[in-house]
Amino acid sequence: MNTRLIVRECDNAVQVLNEVKAFESSGVQSDDMYVLAHEKGRTNEIASQLGVNTIGLKEEGIGTALKSFFESTGNTLRNKMQEMGLSKEEADVYEMKLDRGKILLFVENHGTIGSTP
């Protein structure tokens, strides 16, 4: 099946939780959901609390992960988003939103849901 990425912008962890619940009720598995915040610690905390994934080595690939080790936070975030399937331009836009405190929820849609939960 064709996988399409859905991105939700959230203002706080409660909003992320509500999005996660809505997607789960639509049949999306937690394995298909990834959270990303500007700070790595916040990303890990939210992912742990909600039982969703972070964008890690499996999604990034070893080359991108190693490259990100030496880059700025903004470049690292953009690389992670591009590895999830966003274009460079989309990653630039979302990285600015992360700079302003947004939390992003990425959902891999394997054809089981529409564009909205």
**Low-confidence residues in the chain, pLDDT < 70:** 1-3, 56-73, 112-117
Enumerate helices (H) and strands (E) in the chain, giving the number of each. Answer: 6, 3
At 4 the pLDDT is 86
Q: Give 23's contacts (C-beta < 8 A, 6+ positions apart).
A: 33, 107, 113, 117
At 63 the pLDDT is 54
Of 102, 101, 81, nearest to 91 (Cα)? 81
Q: Give 112's contacts (C-beta < 8 A, 6+ positions apart).
A: 26, 27, 28
| Segments making up each domain of the chain, as ranges | 4-109
At 75 the pLDDT is 84
At 116 the pLDDT is 47
**Secondary structure element (H or E) that encloses residue 62, with its range:** helix 62-69
Q: What is the pLDDT of residues 65-90, one digit of tens each?
A: 445 455 556 788 898 899 888 999 99
Q: pTM for the full model?
A: 0.81
